[in-house]
Amino acid sequence: MIFSWLHLLVLPAAFVLDRLIGDPPSLPHPIRWMGNAITGCEPFFRNRIKNEKTAGALFALTLITGCWLLCFLLLMAMQWLHPVAGFVTEVVMVFYCFSSRSLAQAGLEIYRLLADGQVDQARSAVAMIVGRDVQSYQADDIARATVETVAENYVDGFLSPLLFAVIGGGPLALAYKMVNTLDSMVGYKNERYLYFGRAAARIDDVVNYIPARLSIYIIGLAAELSVLKSGGRALTVAWNEGRNHSSPNAGHPEAAFAGAMGVKLNGPNYYGGQLVEKPFIGVQYDPPGVDHINQACQLMLRSSEVGCLLLWGIGVVLQSVL
């Protein structure tokens, strides 16, 4: 009974911990370890398997399953020592998968820089959180890029790991983060990773498919509960324009944010010097301004609260039934 109640407290405890301390650079972080593992293992699979697609698929699957197994064994060992030790271990696992506070901090720092007229510093800051070319960006361009990043990263920075934590606890949440890290490091359509990184990119698309679409309703509810009172508009734009994106998933949360805030997002961008044509989302609205960055961060934080409460509640009900 003690273990059961402790298990039910994992998600809210991890959520509160994320809100309190975020991602302090002084703490070790498993995402950095995942990055090191990816960098270290890539040559092994490339050198031993000639077919790049096969090598990349085995590379991704090995790292994902290895991450889950290692975390599962660690959690079982800590639970065997004592239920409280297992509880603390799993809270830390899930906490490391959440990034709502750090995402909001990054966005609000760019907002403060732009509000103070420090465009060059804001441009450098936004370059740290987006993959596009930003050398020529001015204040409005930086604002749009920041809002889009906050909207898109709500899913892979919070909602997806939350959902996988509900399904399979800390080990599955960290396995998801390995998927996400693999995609961010090798899931590119360039000469080096076009074939080798294809499996990683496809796996990321698959695991984010449901969370991205679920996010529409959570963002809509959060928008309705906020000062915006725009839940219906968020749902309408998301339903009508969520597919207007080169990514099969990113357009859905972006469209919900666009509708909730009444702004135009997405559109053409340069990546590595190459123009990538993307359709606009929220075509009937104007592009976001500097003040919309703060609005987007507040909506993301509210959506995190709503999502955590809803999914945690569902998890509690399912555990009581099963």
Taking only the tens place, the pLDDT of each residue in 53-72 is 999 999 999 999 999 999 99
- Amino acid (one-letter) located at 190: N
CA R_g for the chain:
20
> Could you report the per-residue pLDDT of 17-39, keeping only the tens digit for each?
999 999 887 778 899 999 999 99
Q: What is the largest CA-CA distance in the chain?
A: 59
Give the count of domains, the chain.
1
**pLDDT band for position 1 (50/70/90)?**
very low
> Could you report the per-residue pLDDT of 92-145, keeping only the tens digit for each?
999 999 999 999 999 999 999 999 999 999 999 999 999 888 999 999 999 999
> Could you report the per-residue pLDDT of 152-173, keeping only the tens digit for each?
999 999 999 999 999 999 999 9
Task: Kindly tell me if the per-residue pLDDT of 190 is higher than 80.
Answer: yes
pLDDT at 24: 80
Those residues whose C-beta lies under 8 Å from the C-beta of residue 160, and which sit 6 or more positions away, are 176, 180, 207, 208, 211
Average pLDDT in the chain: 94
Average pLDDT over residues 69-87: 96
Domain residues for 242?
A: 2-321
Among the listed residues 99, 312, 308, 51, the one whose alpha carbon sits nearest the alpha carbon of residue 199? 51
pTM comes to: 0.94
